[in-house]
Amino acid sequence: MAEWLTVVLLTLGAGITMPVGAALASVERIRPAWLENEFRHGVIAFGGGALLAAVALVLIPEGLKALPILPACLAFVAGALVFMAIDILLARRGTPASQLVAMLTDFLPEALALGATAAAQGPAGPLLAMIIALQNLPEGFNAFRELRAATAYRAAAIVAAFLAMASLGPLFGLFGFFVLADSHVLVGGIMLFAAGGILYLMFQDIAPQAHLDNHWAPPLGAILGFLLGLVGQQLVGH
């Protein structure tokens, strides 16, 4: 099979679980009501764990392979600051799309990395695609719930939109395959930037003790704490 076709299949398979998760959220009904509520919160927590795994096991390690510690830290913090600005803008406009932003911020850089990995003929491509697919399922579920609860969009329209988003995966994967395969520094910076943004959104929207209504700075404490551990690990490791 042609390598570019493998990239298309891997990225499409990794992204298709977003609309699948949304479709499951649209038909899920559990009784009694308290169990349904606990199930939803459990899926949200699972999605948070999957995002954290993506940051800690994929985005950060792969980014650090390409960048020294100072530019890596700058890219990481820049991602957090940019997504704090996006979060403020969405809140002021009354747009409940934080889970959606987190999902796309996670998926698109990983699709780029997946394409670049396939171009380098690395063995990690199928494994990376499986990790992305597993984390996109609860993210699609949670993003659907968030949009459905706070907007007038119909369930079918949301699922169709998520399906269109999944189609972006092959486009980004092919871009990584044909254009970024040799741009290791750029790909690493994108992944670290995305990691900072994802970690910010996690502590702003998922971790309840870190969140204050109409306050956006507290989650930066998580960014600084993670950054401290990151710098320490790099200094000790070298």
The residue range of the domain holding 207 is 3-237
pLDDT of residue 95: 62
pLDDT at 58 over 70: yes
Question: Which residues fall within 8 angstroms of residue 6, CB to CB, at 6 or more apart?
Answer: 118, 125
DSSP calls for 113-141: HHHHHHHTT-TTHHHHHHHHHHHHHHHHH
Give Dmax over CA atoms of the chain in angstroms.
54
Q: Taking all residues of the chain, what is their mean pLDDT, rounded to a whole number?
A: 78
pLDDT digits (tens, 9 = 90+) for 61-80: 888 888 999 999 999 999 99
Global pTM exceeds 0.75: no
- Residue range 77-100: mean pLDDT, rounded: 78
pLDDT of residue 34: 56
From residue 171, alpha-carbon distances to 3, 146, 179, 185, 195 in Å are 14, 26, 12, 20, 21
pLDDT at 90 over 50: yes
pLDDT digits (tens, 9 = 90+) for 157-193: 889 989 999 999 999 999 988 888 788 888 889 889 8
pLDDT digits (tens, 9 = 90+) for 2-41: 788 888 998 999 899 999 988 888 875 555 665 566 666 6
For the chain, the domain total comes to: 1
